[in-house]
Structure 1
Amino acid sequence: MDWSFVVGIIYLLNTIFAVVVIFFERRNPTATLAWLMVLFFLPLIGFVLYLFLGQNYTRQRLFTLKEKDDATLGSIFEEQHRRLLEGQYWLSNPEAEQYRDVILALLRSNRALLTQDNRIEIYTDGKEKFEALFAAIRNASHHIHLEYFIVNNDELGREVVHALAAKAKEGLEVRLLFDALGARAGGGSRAAFRELTDAGGYIGVFFPSIYRVNYRNHRKIAVIDGRIGFIGGFNIGDEYLGKGPLGYWRDTAVKITGQAVKMLQLRFFLDWNFTTNEYLRADPVYFPEQDGGGTTAVQIVSGGPDTRRSPIKEGYIKLINAARESVYLQTPYFIPDDSISDALRLAALSGVDVRLMIPCKPDHPFVYWATLSFAADLLDSGVRVYTYDNGFIHAKTIVVDGKAGSVGSANWDVRSFRLNFEANAFFYDAAVGAEVKKRFLQDLALSTEITQEWYRERSRRIRIKESISRLFSPLG
C-alpha cells in the first residue's frame, strides 16, 4: 500500500473540512480554532473526530422543528408577551413579580409561556422518583407519553416497558420516545421494546444515526393524561437507582401538576412529530383544562440546534445576574463559555454567595478533568466549589436567593447549550426555591470543598489530564 498516497488524501480531506469549518458552518471562533488545530496537528485523529463530532450539515433540517413550534405558539405567545411587557399580566406570587425580567427574556427568546397554578414535588433519589412515575402510569386513563435520552435494557428499563405494555393492553395510547445513541449506549435496541409494540404501544427513535455524537435528544420528560408531568435529569436505567459502578446516584427531577403540563405535552408532541412523521394533533383530550391547585409560576424552556440562541443558558445567566444573596448550582459537567464564567465571577465579586457542586469521580474522564479545570478557574473570584463524595451527582439545577431556579436536563456545558436537545423547568416560588436550596445544603455535608491551596498542589499527572481535556472541550 502506498502510505504516502493515503496520507496525502487525509491531508486533502482535512483541508476541505477546515474550509467548511471556516466558511460554511459559522461556528464560534473558539470552536473554529480548536477544530483547525485538531485537523492540522492531529490529521488522522482529527479526520475521525470530525466525522463523528464536527459536521453541521444536518442542522438546517432541524430548524423545521422550530418553525412548527413558532406556528403552534405564535398567537398565544404574542398576546402574553405584549401583556407582560406592558405590565398588564397579573403575576400570582411575589417571586414571579420579582423575576419578571427573567420571565420576559425567556418568553421572548424561547416563547416559554408562563403558567401560574402549578404544584411541584421534588425528587432527588431515583427510587422515589420512579415510584412516583410508576404510580402515575398505573393510574393513567387515556394516554402515556415518555421521552428519555436513555432507556436501558436492564431491570428498571424492562420494568418500565412492562408497565407501559400493560396499559397499552388496556387500550390506552402509549408512546415512548428515546434517542438512538442513548438507548444503544445503554444496551437497548428495538427488540427490547417488542413487548410494548406487540401490546399496541408506539416507539419513536430519535436521530437513528448512532454514528453522530451531536444533535442528540437529551430531554427527560413524562406526561400522563395531560395532567401530570415529570422533568429532570434521571434517565431510565439501573444506575439511576444507584446500582451501577458509580454507586449512589444523586439527581434531581420534579413532578408537576398544573397548566405547565400542557407545555411539556406540547414539547413531546413536537419531538414525536419530528421523529416519527406521525402528526399528533392538538386535540383537547391531550390538553385537558385543570387547576393545578398551586401557586408556583413555571416556564418550560427548550434548547437545541433548532434554536438560533441558547435559551436555557440565557435563562441561567439572567438568574445569576438577578441574585442578591446566593447562587447554588449543581451539574455533572461544567464546561462554560465566557458568558457563564463572567456571570458567576461578577456575582461572587459583588458579594453573592456562589457555590458550585460537581462530581468527585468521572463517568466521562475527559469531561471530568475539563470540568475540574474550569471550576477551579472561578476560585480566585470567591466562587466556592465542592465535589460530591456520596456517589455520583447528575443533577442539573440552579437556585438563586432560595426563590427562583431551574431543574431539567441541561448541563452547564457547550454540548447542552448548543448541540443537544434539552428541556428545563424554570420556577419562581419561595417554597420550591427553599426546598431546592435545602437539598443543596444537605449535600454539602457529603461533599469536599476544593480550595485554592489544594488545587495548586495537585499532581503533575492531574495537570496534564486537565490540559489535554481542556484543549478538546470546545469541539462540537
Structure 2
Amino acid sequence: MLEYIQNNIFFSLIIINYIIAIGTAIFIILNNRNPITTVSYILALVVLPFLGLLVYYFFGQEYRKDKMFKRRKVFDNETVKKWEKKLMLNNCRLEDYENGFLQNKVNVVKLLQNNQKKPLVLGNDVEILINGEKKFEALFKDLKTAKHHIHVEYYMFNDDKIGTKLINALIEKAKEGVKVRVNYDYVASGISNKNINKMKSFGIEIFPFMPVWFPNLTRKLNYRNHRKIVVIDGVIGYVGGVNISDEYVNPCDKGYWRDTHCRLKGNIVKSIQSHFLLNWNFVSQQEIEITDHLFPDVESFGDIPVQIAASGPDSDYPHIMEALFTAINGANDYIKITTPYFIPNEQMLTALKTASRRGVDVELLIPKEGDSWAAKYATNSYISGLLESGIKVFHYCKGMVHAKTMIVDGLLTTIGTSNMDYRSFEINFEITALIYNENLSEKMVQIFKEDIEHCDVVELKKWEQRPFIEKVKESFSRLWAPLL
C-alpha cells in the first residue's frame, strides 16, 4: 500500500484532497449559511483541488456567532447607558418627527434604535470633505485643538508622506499630555516597527487589529477592520472612505483617487466613540475606564440629525446592510449610489431593481477601471440586469472612485466605509453615518452631478455588444462574488 502511494503520489493526494473536501462540504451545508455563499465554497472545493481547501481555510469560516468581542463590557457601562438613554428618542417623538423632517425615513431610525441601541442624535454639525486633501487639511487643524484624547482607527495606515505627517502630529499632542490611542488593521496597513516603537516611546498606545500570526491565521485573515475613524475629545469625529495613504491625497505621480469623508461635531460623536472603545478593548486586551471625558456633555453645534450604524462579526445582525435595505425600500423619488465595489447580495439587488420598476429614479456610479480585476468583472456582471430594470449606471473615468455614499429622496445621506458588497455587509467591520438633512443631501446631489461629468453613461444596447470574452470573465468572477 505504501509503495502504491509512493508510486502514485499525485493521484493519492487528489484522493486525500477530495476526502477532506467532502467532509468540509458537509460541514458547510450543515451550517445553514446563505445558499449562494454555500454553493460558491462547495464549487471551489470541487473544481479547485487543494486551492479550494485553502480558500475556505483562510476565508470561509464564520465567526459572527462566536462572540469573540467583549461588546457588553462597553455597552453595559453606566456612563454609556446614561448618554444613550438621554439621547434616545421614544416612539412618540419619532412619530412627531415622521410628519416633520424624517418623513418616511423614520423606519430606518427605528431599525437602528431597536437593533443596535444607537439613537438618532439631534443638534450636530456635519461637513462634507471631498478627497484626502480636504479631509487631512481639516483633520490636522482639529488635532491641534485636542485637549484630552485622540482616538485613531484605520483600515490602512501607511507610514508614507501623509502617514508620517500624521504620526508626527500625534507625537506632538502626546508630548502635550494628550492621551493618544491608535488601532490599525494588521493586514492592510504598512507601518514599520520603527515608527510603531517611536510612537510608543512618546506614550502613544498603538495596537494592530487581529494580527495574522501562524497558527491562528484561519481565524484572522478574513475578518478585517475596514473602518476609518478619528475621535477628538469626544466632540469631533471623522467617518468615511479615506485611508491614511499617499494615493488618497492625489500626488502628481499617482492616479486620481476620488473619495468622500465627513467631519462630525456634536453628541453623535459619542456613538462613534463607543464603537472605537469596543474594538480597543478587544485589540488591547484592556478595559478603559469610561469617564465623562470620553463622553462629555456638549452644546448643540448645529441642526443636523445623525445616526451611526456599525456592523461586523461582533454584531448580531448586518446593521448597515439592513439600514440601506430599509432606506431603498422606502424611497419615493430617487436613490443615488456611489460605490467602488458593487457586488450585492440578492436582498439588495432585488430592492434596487424593484425600486426602479416602481418609479424611483435609481442611479449607480462605479469605477470604469477599479483596483481589483476580479471585483471589476464581478461588478460588471450585474450591469445588464440593472439596466433592464431601468437603473442608470455611470462608469467613472477620471480615476478610481472610492467613495461609499447614498442619497435618498433629498433627505437621507449615508457616508461611511461600507461598500455595496457581501464582504462589507457580512464579513468586515464597517461604520456608516446616516444623515437626515435636506441641505446636506442637496450638497451631496450636486457633488454626484459633478462626478457624473467625469463618467461614461452605460447604455444597454451598446453594453450588450461588448466582447464575448468579457462576458465570460464577468460570469466566472460572479461565481466567486461572495468570496471577493
Aligning the two structures, in what range does the TM-score lie when normalised by the shorter sequence? over 0.9
Aligned-pair distance for 1:5? 2.8
Alpha-carbon distance in structure 2 between the residues aligned to 1:65 and 1:451: 49
Alpha-carbon distance in structure 1 between the residues aligned to 2:20 and 2:334: 50
Aligned-pair distance for 1:446? 0.9
Alpha-carbon distance in structure 1 between the residues aligned to 2:76 and 2:433: 22
Aligned residue type for 1:38: A
Partner of 1:7: 14
Alpha-carbon distance in structure 1 between the residues aligned to 2:87 and 2:61: 38
Find out whether 1:121 has 2:124 as its counterpart: no
Aligned-pair distance for 1:78? 7.3
Aligned residue type for 2:414: S
Partner of 1:192: 195
The correspondence of residues 262-411 of structure 1 with structure 2, limited to 5 A, is 262-411=270-419
Alpha-carbon distance in structure 2 between the residues aligned to 1:432 and 1:222: 21
Between the aligned residues of both structures, percent identity stands at 35
| Counterpart selection for 2:147 from 123, 141, 149 | 141
SS at match of 1:282: coil
Aligned residue type for 2:180: V
Kept in 2, the 8 Å contact 1:161–1:193? The answer is no
Change (3 A) 1:91 1:283: farther
Q: TM-score normalised to the size of structure 1? A: 0.94
Q: Alpha carbon RMSD of aligned pairs, Å? A: 2.1
SS at match of 2:151: strand
Change (3 A) 1:413 1:392: same
Kept in 2, the 8 Å contact 1:358–1:387? The answer is yes
Alpha-carbon distance in structure 1 between the residues aligned to 2:359 and 2:209: 44
Partner of 1:204: 207
Kept in 1, the 8 Å contact 2:384–2:464? The answer is no
Change (3 A) 1:92 1:132: farther
Aligned-pair distance for 1:75? 7.4
Moved more, 83-92 or 261-270: 83-92
Find out whether 1:461 has 2:469 as its counterpart: yes
| Counterpart selection for 2:76 from 55, 71, 86 | 71
SS at match of 1:285: coil
Q: Which runs of 4+ in 1 moved over 6 A?
A: 78-81
Alpha-carbon distance in structure 2 between the residues aligned to 1:190 and 1:376: 47
* Consecutive unaligned residues in structure 2, runs of 5 or more: 1-5
Alpha-carbon distance in structure 1 between the residues aligned to 2:300 and 2:396: 35
* Consecutive unaligned residues in structure 1, runs of 5 or more: none
Kept in 2, the 8 Å contact 1:161–1:195? The answer is no
Partner of 2:90: 84
Moved more, 113-122 or 240-249: 240-249
Moved more, 308-317 or 142-151: 308-317
The correspondence of residues 147-226 of structure 1 with structure 2, limited to 5 A, is 147-183=153-189, 187-209=190-212, 211=217, 212-226=220-234
Find out whether 1:130 has 2:136 as its counterpart: yes
Partner of 1:17: 24
Kept in 2, the 8 Å contact 1:331–1:394? The answer is yes
Alpha-carbon distance in structure 2 between the residues aligned to 1:429 and 1:441: 18
Alpha-carbon distance in structure 2 between the residues aligned to 1:88 and 1:443: 35
Alpha-carbon distance in structure 1 between the residues aligned to 2:95 and 2:289: 29
Alpha-carbon distance in structure 1 between the residues aligned to 2:255 and 2:483: 30
Kept in 2, the 8 Å contact 1:376–1:385? The answer is no
Alpha-carbon distance in structure 2 between the residues aligned to 1:307 and 1:169: 36
Aligned residue type for 2:480: F
| Counterpart selection for 2:117 from 105, 108, 111 | 111
Change (3 A) 1:368 1:192: farther
Q: TM-score normalised to the size of structure 2? A: 0.92
Partner of 2:238: 230
Change (3 A) 1:196 1:271: same
